[in-house]
Amino acid sequence: MSSATGSFQLPDYGQVHTLHVLKSGEIITTLAEFEPVEHRFQWVDRKAIIQRILYLRTVTDNAKKSVIVIYEDGQLVRELVNVEREFVPFLLKSAV
């Protein structure tokens, strides 16, 4: 048996970010910010979110990003696909 001597290149995947938006409008972007309010998002199907992240990584261009926004108010999940890396959703512009 001969061993493979070639190199294997993993495919480049696009960036996918998740944001949580509280009823107050506060934007949660880090794990440290999320942990104290995690109980408010128990309705989120984590498995479905992970599946969407994995899928979006494959369809997001390398030069762009996709964002999954999870809203506490209305228990909504929205996807912003293939936006510019510098893109900030309108609701975030006032927080920057």
For 18-58, the pLDDT digits (tens) are 999 999 999 998 999 999 999 999 999 999 999 999 999 99
Q: What is the pTM of this model?
A: 0.78
Q: Which residues have a Cβ under 8 Å from the Cβ of 28 and sit 6 or more positions away?
A: 19, 20, 21, 22, 34, 37
Q: How confident is the model at residue 4 (pLDDT cuts 50, 70, 90)?
A: low
Q: What is the pLDDT of residue 10?
A: 61
